[in-house]
Structure 1
Amino acid sequence: MKLDAIDLRILTAVQADGRITKLALAEKAGLSPTPCWMRLRKLEKAGIIAGYHAHIDVRRLAPVASVLMEVTLTNHRQADFERFERAVAATDEITACWSVGGGVDYILKIMASDIDAYQRLVDSLLDRELGIDRYFTYIITKTVKDETVLSLKTLIPEPQ
């Protein structure tokens, strides 16, 4: 789907405020409400807008241990990757997982109630024989930046 400057303004606005009103969105986009709403629906149908979410500061609700974990698998067959990825997808405490190039296979972001709960999770992953050869744990001690809003104007050149 080819995007124009209006589409990018719509995306920027809903990314910053998923609860923006139709009228406010139309103003930010520089359109009247109906055409703006039609463009928004088109962006949703195309899958460019994948959903709307509330950003919850879980630390205001309960103490949490945030951990990054590097994982290297013993074998590198497609079936090994698929088995590990299915286990990751089914584990609620693993909030993000990236397959990466370089010296490790995956980087995981894990949110657990405390370090003991994290270790129990790791033990259960190892007990399930998912092919984990090595893992390294990095406990997050302070969040310096954790943005969910992307600067579209720096990532996507403005259409002519």
Structure 2
Amino acid sequence: MTPGMIRLDDRDIAILKVLSEEGRLSKAALAKRINLSPTPCWERLKRLEKAGIIEGYRAEISLRKTAPHVTVFVTLELETHNSAAFQAFERAVTTYPEIVQCWALGGGFDYLLQVVTRDVESYQALIDRLLDQGLGLARYYTYIVTKPIKTGHVLPFDTLLSAAD
């Protein structure tokens, strides 16, 4: 077990698995699904929230049914590779709501961004703003999503945690 990680038992894992698949579940229904009475289930749930294991609850919204949009993945490199340059870029990224995910990478590129915006023109306007901001972007590559194949955020708890023992 990696330092800083919290040991989870089978009931904790069951709670996390059910919530990751069905976040909109009453506490009574959750308790029933994991075969535990409501009070101990509620106590476990609160402990998982307090420990930061459960970071929040969200609804998955179908943009396809609500608004025209384009999803774009962007790999990019910075000109300068020092702490100040990385921090400046990371601060800037948090100010753009169209950038819905950003990951720092090891290897050939510095960052991978997921951008969701109205259309290709608004995506390019976002990139132009990033370039004009003087963040030291050396190069970027754009990958437009043509069709989603597998989406969602259900984590493979069984696979991840079986190797942890």
The alignment's TM-score, normalised by the length of structure 1, stands at 0.96
Partner residue, 2:122: 117
Q: Give the SS at the match of 1:156.
A: helix
The answer to whether the 8 Å contact 1:5/1:159 transfers is no
Partner residue, 1:40: 45
Question: Which letter maps to 2:52?
Answer: G
Partner residue, 2:70: 65
Q: Is the counterpart of residue 27 in structure 1 residue 27 in structure 2?
A: no
Question: Which letter maps to 1:124?
Answer: R
Q: Is the counterpart of residue 4 in structure 1 residue 12 in structure 2?
A: no
- Give structure 2 stretches of 5+ with no counterpart: 1-5
Q: Is the counterpart of residue 134 in structure 1 residue 136 in structure 2?
A: no
Worse overlay, 142-151 or 71-80: 142-151
Moved over 3 A (4+): none
Query: How many angstroms apart in 2 are the aligned matches of 1:103 and 1:77?
Result: 16
Alpha-carbon deviations, 1:123-144, whole Å to 9, x = none?
Answer: 1100011010000101111111
Partner residue, 1:143: 148
Alpha-carbon deviations, 1:43-71, whole Å to 9, x = none?
Answer: 00000000000000112111101100011
1:14, distance to aligned residue in structure 2 (A): 1.2
Q: 1:100 to 1:158 in 2, by over 3 A?
A: closer
Question: Which letter maps to 2:32?
Answer: E
Query: How many angstroms apart in 2 are the aligned matches of 1:156 and 1:144?
Result: 26
Q: Which of 20, 45, 48 in structure 2 is aligned with 1:15? A: 20
Q: Which of 80, 99, 108 in structure 2 is aligned with 1:103? A: 108
Query: How many angstroms apart in 2 are the aligned matches of 1:10 and 1:52?
Result: 13
Q: Give the SS at the match of 2:123.
A: helix
Q: Give the SS at the match of 1:9.
A: helix
Worse overlay, 144-153 or 119-128: 144-153
The alignment's TM-score, normalised by the length of structure 2, stands at 0.93
RMSD, matched Cα: 1.4
1:10, distance to aligned residue in structure 2 (A): 0.7
Q: Give the SS at the match of 2:162.
A: coil
Q: 1:19 to 1:158 in 2, by over 3 A?
A: farther
Q: Would you say how many aligned residue pairs link Structure 1 and Structure 2?
A: 160
Query: How many angstroms apart in 2 are the aligned matches of 1:72 and 1:158?
Result: 34
| Amino-acid identity (%) | 47
1:157, distance to aligned residue in structure 2 (A): 1.5
1:159, distance to aligned residue in structure 2 (A): 8.5
